[in-house]
Amino acid sequence: MSLKTRLQSNKILMAPGVYDGLSAALATDAGFEALYLSGAAVAYTRLGRPDIGLSTASEMADTMALIADRTPLPVIIDADTGFGNALNAQRTMRVYERAGASALQLEDQTYPKRCGHLADKALISSAEMVGKIAAMTDARASEDTLIIARTDAIAVEGFSAALDRAQTYIEAGADVLFIEAPQTRAQLETIGTQFSARIPLLANMVEGGATPITGANDLEEQGFSIVIFPGGIVRALARTAKDYYQSLLSSGSNKPFAERMFDFDGLNDVIGTKEQLERGARYGADE
């Protein structure tokens, strides 16, 4: 089922954050229907750096291709600002689509951008954003590849201005609307009331971010169609990894941490080593 078809359902779509083939495989095995690849997660894991526009388009496309090779699920990919002007955004669409993305999320920040839940962001004009949406629409090879228009205007220009920008992006042809970092439940409810009958809405849940953490069922009742958890897996793994390394250094052994980790066979079961070896044997030459 394509992402476009899935969004015709009234049931909200949960898309957990992933950042490589392993996390994508684990999320797929858990039973999710779609995945989300954020620039933040790539910056955190590949660069060990914050989400301040350091991840490049090529790093994102490489990561997307590896994920697409590991899972059949549709992937929503963070396209940041399109990495420049409208022509850059157009090229980003072509590259990401070839890498296997099902939807590209484009935002109206200046370039380089920063995380939507960090302060001191700056925006391009609505007219420039409209041009980028149009450029990406013209460039996509399939109409099943969706354009998610994100505005960061709440933190910069205020909630009313964000609603105005959202209206403009819908008229420009966006397939999904993403108003980033609502600060209260009332703002979430207003977004749902004003736009849910016209376009699928995306909500972003960031632990410790500007938006009140709200469950998927609650968001569905408010009119949202997609909820993403872009960096949750990295925050969970970073906490576990920090504890693991401290335990190893202090004890000189993995034994104290054994109950919190897979052993050799356990990880091989998760990543399908036996199945891969059996598949490879089918193509081997006879002795």
pLDDT at 148: 98
pLDDT at 118: 66
Those residues with Cβ within 8 angstroms of residue 39's Cβ, 6 or more apart along the chain or in another chain:
51, 53, 55, 60, 78, 80
Those residues with Cβ within 8 angstroms of residue 271's Cβ, 6 or more apart along the chain or in another chain:
22, 25
Single-letter amino acid, residue 130: V
The DSSP 8-state label assigned to residue 109 in this structure reads B
Residues 113, 103: Cα–Cα separation, whole Å: 19
pLDDT (tens digit per residue) in 27-49: 999 999 999 999 999 999 999 99
Residues 83, 270: Cα–Cα separation, whole Å: 36
pLDDT lower than 50: segments of the chain:
none
Q: Is the pTM of this model over 0.85?
A: yes
* Closest of 141, 132, 134 to residue 100, by C-alpha: 141
Which H or E element spans position 240? helix 232-251
Q: Is 179 helix (H, G, I), strand (E, B) or coil?
A: strand
